[in-house]
Structure 1
Amino acid sequence: MNAPSVPRVARSRFGVLPDGTEVERVTLHAADGLEARIITYGASLQALLVPDTAGHRDDIVLGHDAFEGYLARRQFFGATVGRYANRIAGARFVLDGAKVQLAANNGANALHGGLEGFDRRNWRIVRIDDGDQPAVTLAYTSADREEGYPGTLDVEVTWRLTRPMELLLDMTARTDRPTVVNLTNHSFFNLAGARSGRDILDHHLSVAADHFLAIDAGAIPLPQPPSEVAGTPFDFREGFEVGARIRNDHPQLRVGRGYDHNFCLVPADGEPCFAARLAEPTSGRVLELFTNQPGLQVYSGNFLDGTTAGKGGRLYRQSDAICLEPHAWPNTPNRPDFPTARLSPGEVYRHTTSYRFTHVVKGAIGTQSEVELPDRSGR
């Protein structure tokens, strides 16, 4: 695939909803070869093309080549998730003394916004920037009591290509009544390529967290303080292969069928901080994730079961991808000891996450010895 020589934006039709509404795709091209394709359905990252050490570009996120795959089955590939990402126990909570009953769609719990979350909505394009930092901004208005959540919520999501080899995601939200807000992007990454046929167990992962949240059988955090990662398979502070300890006989790996846990980050005054680093040995691609969110859900693709055919007709199986989802901690509305997810009128919810790509120096996959990916000329 030849990379474009200058930054630019392209807009095209991607599909049609059953009611005849058009689903669009906006493609952001950067001069260094980075390319992001965003569709209005779910404000989703449909494809992300990143060069390897030789400058060859591959799409590194799972998903579908055609819109019909997104419509047929809800799997959150690349989607914007809300109004509340992850789970709320019992699909209910109390806000300012009032009981809030949500739609239960994960057993008795509410998951990823309910039965028809933000990932199942067709967002509108409100702005396109075609310049040195190509970008698209999408908007959605969530009605009061949609899926049970109080308050009309106006949300904007901006995808932007910035600096060398960086994809920046900015989310904002405003409400007319007190509510809870917790947004994330749910991309499934495989740095070897979505069509490579390789799993992510050999990806080297680092996570900047001293604690994680232990969960029960319903993936709800246990009624206890965060657990220390030290001495457990959840200690990624120095970096390990994802598969190195995933089959250890640890009770939390059994209950999650692998990694599907919130790691507790320590953001600095709302500014994005380093949260995770993912490196793949064959391509040499490295992803560094920075965010201002208090948690990072690490999900090792445990429930990909081979029943979905994705890009290139490949069946997606367990551990074919890994999700790194920055957001508030699960079940925060029911846990006053957790960082709050409350949003009041006059306040602005802000979520910033950056995905920075480099490549690893040969033989240094587990280190920070990296340089930026070359452009197509090899410089």
Structure 2
Amino acid sequence: MENSFDVAIIGGGINGTSIAYQLSKMGRKVIIIEKDQLACQASSAAAGMLAAQAEIEQDGPLFQLALKSQAMFPAITSELYEYSGIDIEYVNKGMFKIAETEAIANEVKMQVAFQRKWDPAIKWLDAKELQEMEPSLSPNVVGAMYLPNDGHVQPTKLTEAFAKAAVYFGAEIRENTEVLSFIFENGQVKGVKTTQGIIHSEQVVIATGAWAAKLMRESGLDISVYPVKGECFSIKTDKPIINTTIFSDKRCYLVPKRNGEIYIGATMVEHTFDNKVTPEGIATLIERASQLVPEIKEAAWERVWSGIRPQTADGLPYLGEHPHWKGLFVASGHFRNGILLSPITGKLVADLLAGRLLDESLLSAFQLERHKETIGLGG
């Protein structure tokens, strides 16, 4: 079994596979090391929303990164289908960011004015206009910001497509293989020790989501990635009751999928890796969702699930090289934006590793040592 590679990527989720795809396409010899199976954690639990302008409300590095990544999806959809044969189910029917009270409506209208700087097609719809487009919405909804260019994908299929396309270009995938520690020599990473033996590589990427902090402590770095559990459920209808993604500031969304399912989520339970689905969590979601779309109470119950998402102290992901160990990189902490940011994460991190990143300012806000007060450096 071959155990020497140009790049070893730890984590077979959405961002690990995206990075692997971009590096493999460059001709780099890449291995993905996954302790369980591909897309078995947050990548398969997400709803797949590409909500750059609904979830991120202020301009800044994360917002600009999200806009760039969102714009990549039409091309990446075709590209991945060509190399993997997998349809990632990219749907671009827009999104409504709902206002349920006059006070919230005033806030959302301000967001409309702000967001139109980047997308003039964004507009405010009053209750009557909203009812004409989505008759199943509750008449109690005051109005909504309409984002016609926000879409969604099937996240598990996107992860599998990145992985299969990476394999097309020569990448290797090892599942059920856990990384135990790093091998360092003279300030340089030289590989990793795993449950299946040593893998040699002078570039290693940690893309293990909420589990990144544990591995980083092995390198003497204490980064502020922590887990946030999200519970979701889905229903299925014989004919569509909504056509557009519905997003509420009450932390509830409804995403209509191609197969007739509507994904509804998500709760937020911080600082836990316990991924059990609770009656309380699902009951809360049912109450919130049925207030927006009463017809869901009559729909067929499909399934429940949960995922553990990686959050950081300042809400920004970590993308960059370890400050002490050359060749060791991190791509983690994407929280609710992992699916949205996966194309740009793959491209930027691959360019960084290959020495092709022309504008390093794109990653400056996401470097590992950006806030020393919450990051401890060890020896």
TM-score > 0.5 by shorter chain:
no
TM (normalized to structure 1)?
0.28
TM (normalized to structure 2)?
0.28
**Structure holding more strand per residue:** 1
More relative contact order in 1 or in 2 (CA 8 Å, sep 6+)?
A: 2
